[in-house]
Chains A and B, each alone.
Chain A
Amino acid sequence: MALLEARGVNVAYTPARGVRIWSVRDVDVTLEQGEFVGLVGESGCGKTTLGFALTRMLRPPAHLESGTISFDGVDISTLDGEELRRQRRNGFALVLQSGMNALNPVRTVEHHFGDIFNAHAREGEKYLGAAGRTRGAELLDMVRLDAEVLSRYPHELSGGMRQRVAIALALALEPRFIVFDEPTTALDVIVQGAIMQTIKDLQHDKGFTAVIISHDLGVVLEATSRVMVMYAGRIIEDQPSTDLARGAHHPYTEALLNCYADPRADEVRIEGIPGNPPDLSLAMAGCPYEPRCPLAVEICKETDPPLAPLGRGRAACHVRAPAARAVAAEAPGAR
């Protein structure tokens, strides 16, 4: 059984005044135990919203308007309060963007661990006092930090160290599913590589299912085994990471790849993608990428392409992955 199955997820932001924005549109996600997946897209594509939806961390004015999310067989999309907390203890966690800023500045690191242990203590499993410190030191060791960090305050640590602490806190309850929201964006460029390596090693050792949300395709491809690309609230491509550097893909993915280049090459060209993403408060007919797509044909204007097989994965493109193949696709929520 898949660890996480989300079907037909729709998330909308409904501000008190102003128009409603559909930031995640009809998304299906299936994650197996132990997968290391990257969720990639640019500003406003909905990736962070999706990550929050999957871990039930959405806050008003964002709401899960429809869809089901089952974690380990249990439908968590409608749970609340104590029930939800029990499921969280059972296994999923979220590491926030600049998780380093999620630390309380007037409390030591040890206190942060204590908070979690106390809040989610199972029967007879209270980590108090010395036991808490030992467990805290173990967790810090997993993220390559010295035990003496326990007695430090957040401002005494560097940005990279704080991010590691945030990751260690997420590991405290031995979750089976962790979503990392832009774990390296706020960090210095040289530290980013080290953090990603740490996350990769942790995932390999502990075997939890990890989702890395990032706007940087390059960073994600180097660490993960599977990548999902989002655009305008939909997943438009879903491939093994090794395949993404080769072969034909969704035009948006290809355009994104062309934004990168090796600065050491003799000839260096980087491209951009002209135009802007669509306005998410409007209804869209047809493929959302069509206005900017060099391959667009008639049908692209009329019908939104479903995810259809392409290579070893799937893509939502009439031209590259014609919908006729979608009959074989697995989405049971298709209407």
Chain B
Amino acid sequence: MTIVTSAPPPQVPGAEAQVPLGPTSDAIPGPLRFVGRALRTLWSNGKARVGLVIIALNILVAVFAPLIARHSPTATDFAPYSSPSATNWFGTTGNGQDVFSQMVYGARISLLVGLGAGALATLVAVAIGLVAGYRPGPIDEVLSFITNLALVIPALPLMIILAAYLQGRSVWTIVLVVAFTSWATGARVIRSQASTLRNRDYVTSAVFSGERLFRIVFREILPNMTSLVAASFFAAATAAIMAEASLEFLGLGNPSTVSWGTILYFAEQQNALLSGQWVLVFAPGLAIALLAVSFTLVNFGVDALSNPRLREK
């Protein structure tokens, strides 16, 4: 008797993964658990992992700046224009300040503006995009028009003009200016997605289940856009970091704040390259680029956030 055996699948003990008999009435847990799970999802993607590590390092450096930097970033204690040495790992500026300490403290500003402006821009984008996308009609028309207007105006020149005219040059000015000029792209994309999702059967089903507008928008539509919102955020943060550095470099920020952009500003003012102090240019430049790239890398892992199937262990 010939017996044709079935193909050799692995001997997997037990049936499919045990689904927990949870008492929870819905799958969206508290915010903390959500963030925890989001981080784990991002961590599982190779590129995103690299990005997360770089961001984490930057955060650590920013938070523990006083411990890491060996000197005060603003103290003009040292001989100006000196090359890297044992006391000044990155050399000194034209004013005799330690560049390494400036780099370390500068991380704070870059992160603050990057994350802050990114978050603010995304918040505005989500608010406008969701409202415009969910309700077709006059509201949508008005909001779309405003969005298109904001998209058409070139961001950098607008930023420059705003920064130049605003009184009180502080980091927060920069945050506001950057957020103001970068919400439109996200809004446009979110509006498209919201208007697609609005026609899904499960949204109609939610209406039939008696859900109110607020709940439909925030519990049915928005969670299914998590990937998109996260991607918008990371894109906005990337743009914000670059924008902040640009503004500082152009001297439109507050020259007395210590940031990577101001290091570049002073380096340019003092002709650092000509005097052979290439560290003054490369260090902040590289740091800005690396931080910006890290946000983009994290964006690679963001797809899995909205797709529970990709999440499964």
Contacts and interface: CB of A to CB of B under 8 A. Distances in A.
Interface stretch (B5-13, B47-55, B284-292): B5-13
A326 B2 contact: yes
Interface stretch (A71-79, A135-143, A214-222, A275-283): A275-283
Contacts of A331: 4
B7 A22 contact: yes
Contact of A281 (B1, B8, B12): B12
A334 B15 CA distance: 29
B277 to A, nearest CB: 47
Contacts of B312: 17-18
Contacts of B2: 306, 323, 326-327, 329, 334-335
A324 B1 contact: yes
B16 interface: yes
B2 to A, nearest CB: 5
B44 interface: yes
Nearest to A10: B7
Contacts of B4: 26, 304, 306-307, 326, 331, 334-335
A236 B223 CA distance: 43
B311 to A, nearest CB: 9
B6 to A, nearest CB: 5
A92 to B, nearest CB: 24
B313 A18 contact: yes
Contacts of B1: 323-324, 326-327
A281 B9 contact: yes
B148 to A, nearest CB: 23
Contacts of A19: 10, 12
Contact of A335 (B5, B16, B44): B5
A24 B313 CA distance: 23
A20 B3 contact: no
Contact of B5 (A66, A233, A280, A304): A304
- What class of interface size applies to chain A in its complex with B? 20 to 34
B192 to A, nearest CB: 17
Nearest to B1: A323
A188 to B, nearest CB: 20
Interface core residue of A279, A283, A303, A331 (most chain B CB under 10 Å)? A283
A26 B12 contact: no
Contacts of A226: none
Q: How large is the interface on B (under 10, 10 to 19, 20 to 34, 35 or more residues)?
A: 10 to 19
A234 B9 contact: no
A20 B9 contact: yes
Nearest to B313: A17
A176 interface: no
Interface in A292-335: 303-304, 306-307, 323-324, 326-327, 329, 331, 334-335
Interface centre among B3, B6, B16, by most chain A C-beta atoms within 10 angstroms, is B6
A25 interface: yes
A284 interface: yes
A212 to B, nearest CB: 25
Contacts of A282: 9, 12, 15
Contacts of B313: 17-18
Contacts of B7: 10, 22, 24-26, 65-66, 233
Interface string A260-282: 00000000000000000001111
Contacts of A65: 7
A234 B6 CA distance: 9
B34 to A, nearest CB: 20
B15 A279 contact: yes
Q: Which of B3, B16, B312 has the most CB of A within 10 A?
A: B3
B6 A17 contact: no
A283 B9 contact: yes
A25 B4 CA distance: 11
Interface string B1-42: 111111111111001100000000000000000000000000
Contacts of A234: 6
A283 B3 contact: no
Nearest to A233: B7
A306 B3 contact: yes
Nearest to A287: B6
Contacts of B9: 12, 20, 22, 25, 280-284
A84 B312 CA distance: 35
B190 to A, nearest CB: 24
B6 A284 contact: yes
A280 B10 CA distance: 11
Nearest to B11: A283
Which A-B residue pairs are the 4 nearest by beta carbons?
A25-B7, A306-B4, A10-B7, A22-B9
Interface of A: 10, 12, 17-20, 22, 24-26, 65-66, 233-234, 279-284, 288, 303-304, 306-307, 323-324, 326-327, 329, 331, 334-335
Given A281-B12, A282-B9, A306-B2, 4 more contacts: A24-B7, A281-B9, A327-B2, A331-B4
21 contacts: A12-B9, A17-B312, A18-B313, A22-B7, A24-B7, A25-B6, A26-B4, A26-B7, A66-B7, A279-B16, A281-B9, A281-B12, A282-B12, A283-B8, A283-B12, A304-B6, A327-B2, A329-B2, A335-B2, A335-B3, A335-B4
